Structure 1
Amino acid sequence: MFNLPPRLDAKLNSSQFSNLFTFQVAARHLSFTKAADELCLTASAVSHRIARLEAELSIQLFKRLTRRVQLTEAGERIFEILQRTLGDLSEVLAQPVDADLAGPLTLYAHPSIAHAWLVPRLAEFGARFPGVTLDLRVGNDSVDFRSRKIDLALYYGNGEFHGLISHKLMQERVAPVCSPEYADRHRLFDSVQQLEHCTLLHDSLAWDHAAFDSEWAMWVRYHGAGVPMPKRGVTFDRSDLCVTAAVNHAGLAIGREQLVSGPIQQGKLVLPFGGFARCGEYDYYIVHPALEPLPRRVSSFIEWLYECASQPPTI
């Protein structure tokens, strides 16, 4: 029986459990790159998760050598414990899946949150719940649960969903974003007056009944009078298309923190006028009809969404 290293026997949160699994895969391969391939992540994301785990547990798990990584003594001990524990768990999971955790689950989501936040995380859900078949549909409309066989919806809105049950998943903050090249070319850093010479990128369907420039108008109201608004603009019907245009130097978009943290960490986008701010009342909500109890596969998916929302964004 191994003695646990210091602090490992302390209470672990959901983020640390996720990062321990990332560590187990990296330790098995002794390669962050091979672990990234297995986990459908980037090597930098694997490195970031393991570094965060080491910092939170105050344990060095790997020695970073020139062209490879090597487990430390503590890393070896933790890896052996994880291998044994995950092996026992695999034997249990190899048994037939519980019937109420199997079957179809249809999710309707706004396109931008689906593309930029949800889809990159689906491999983890599939690995954890192999018996659930997810059918993801996207659109900007408010879905009619009575006429369409939808279990859940994932919306960006103000929380008003009449006749439905809603749960706030994540709070959102916003800020103008653009490529570093665009910011340099227009001398935007800490100079909001230069905005009048720029092209604004608009999400015309940011939320129900939004005007084409609602997000920019919300940001200007938050910052008060004196912010010059240019006449030039390009309009899309999805926030992620605005972001893609911004990455490719087409102008300035209103970036939602939950959706643009990755491109910012990667250096593809910058915040020329400062950090994110909570300028309005719009957040992400899980919505479903009043149904008690919810099928277990649906409630498990909701719990998994909350677990994802509790973790810091990764590249």
Structure 2
Amino acid sequence: MQLPRLTGSILSGLHCFLIAADQMSFTRAAEILCLTQSAVSHKIKNLEEALGVTLFIRQPRRLSLTDDGKRLKEVVAQNFGDLANELRELRTQELCGDLNISVPPTFAQRWLLPRLKRFIDKYPSLRIHLRTRNELVDFQTESFDCAIYFGNGKHSGLHVVKLMDESMMPVCSHDYAKRHHLYGNPANLTACMLLHDAAPWAKAGRNDEWQYWAQQNGVLLPDGTGCTFDRADLSLQAAERGIGVAMGRASFIAEQLESGRLVAPFTLSVPSPLTYYLVCRKEMATSPRIKAFIDWLEEMKKVS
């Protein structure tokens, strides 16, 4: 038997032959393949002509394999089975294994963690390893697959995907706002305790968020007063407890505003100069695991 070049027609015919040989019926093969009985018969005939051999002995209401048919069935079954296993293994590898992610602490707690179960449910074979930090990752020496940064998106030599913009506004408890007459009066911030995230992004100063907001709105801030925290969620918790006024990012405070645990005493929200990005090594940009994570982040952004 001389095997011709494996064209699409030949491969389709081999698949059809294997089903028919398993079922020993063109009619049942047609049902499995969602074809007509005549279409199956035609595919088998074309295959036989292409191979130059007879594969089936056709008798009334009965099929049997020729010796060549038996040989071909054994070879095709083994190789199609190997191919199916390889394809299954490739697909499994795409969505299993370890995914090591670096995330800013408050973003992890306030935005990512409440949604993470949906990702785990969607890709149960992926093992997520989440580590929180504000510092940038050294992808040459550290074993992270990807990182989420709050920054300007300029990372030479890395693959960068913009995730979402951010906005910021002062927030505090309702009682604190009333006590300091803050509603509609941003000038009264001069008499308030300001709560600072000391590291809102990499290499940031402790006053950077507040100063940026104040400059955008022409507000004078008190000099040298306030409490600093190394995580934005701690400053927000302090604001909930009436300690002072924190700079809130919209991504972090929606639930607290809705529940009334925090209030925005004046409608002076400003777009943040920085944005959330996912960053990874360029050679990892096509990794199915990272692509699945990016696609899921985009999906969550739309439903948030």
Q: Same fold (TM over 0.5)?
A: yes
Which whole-Å deviations, capped at 9, do the CAs of 1:182-237 have from their partners, x for residues lacking one? 1011110001121111000011111122111000000011012x524254200011
Which whole-Å deviations, capped at 9, do the CAs of 1:83-112 have from their partners, x for residues lacking one? xxxxxxxxxxxx997232111100001111
Report if the CA contact (8 A) 1:200-1:230 is conserved: no
What does residue 193 of structure 2 align with?
A: 199
User: Of 291, 297, 311, which residue of structure 1 is paired with 2:283?
Assistant: 291
Query: Could you list the runs of 4 or more consecutive aligned residues of structure 1 that deviate by over 6 angstroms after TM superposition?
Result: none
User: Of 296, 299, 302, which residue of structure 1 is paired with 2:294?
Assistant: 302
The 2-side partners of 1:264 and 1:230 are apart by 28
- Would you say 1:148 and 2:162 are equivalent positions? no
Q: Measured at CA, do residues 184 and 230 of structure 1 come closer, stay the same or move farther in structure 2, by a change above 3 Å?
A: farther
Percent identity between matched residues is 36
What does residue 36 of structure 2 align with?
A: none
The 1-side partners of 2:100 and 2:157 are apart by 19
What does residue 247 of structure 1 align with?
A: 240
After TM superposition, list the pairs within 5 Å mapping 1:107-256 onto structure 2.
107-224=101-218, 226-229=219-222, 231-256=224-249
Deviation at 1:181, TM superposition (A): 1.1
The 2-side partners of 1:286 and 1:207 are apart by 14
Q: Which has the larger radius of gyration?
A: 2
The 1-side partners of 2:208 and 2:285 are apart by 38
Deviation at 1:162, TM superposition (A): 2.2
Give structure 2 stretches of 5+ with no counterpart. 1-87
Deviation at 1:310, TM superposition (A): 1.6
Report if the CA contact (8 A) 1:176-1:271 is conserved: yes
The 2-side partners of 1:175 and 1:140 are apart by 21
SS in 2 for 1:291: helix
Q: Measured at CA, do residues 210 and 175 of structure 1 come closer, stay the same or move farther in structure 2, by a change above 3 Å?
A: same
**Amino acid across the alignment from 1:134:** I
Which whole-Å deviations, capped at 9, do the CAs of 1:103-124 have from their partners, x for residues lacking one? 1100001111011100111111
Scaled by the length of structure 2, the TM-score of the pair is: 0.68
**Amino acid across the alignment from 1:262:** E
The 2-side partners of 1:140 and 1:228 are apart by 26
Q: Measured at CA, do residues 293 and 205 of structure 1 come closer, stay the same or move farther in structure 2, by a change above 3 Å?
A: closer
Aligned pair count reads 216
- Would you say 1:267 and 2:224 are equivalent positions? no
Give structure 1 stretches of 5+ with no counterpart. 1-94
Which whole-Å deviations, capped at 9, do the CAs of 1:246-289 have from their partners, x for residues lacking one? 111111111000111111111111111215221x4211111111
**Amino acid across the alignment from 2:174:** P
The 2-side partners of 1:100 and 1:310 are apart by 24
RMSD: 1.7
**Amino acid across the alignment from 2:230:** D
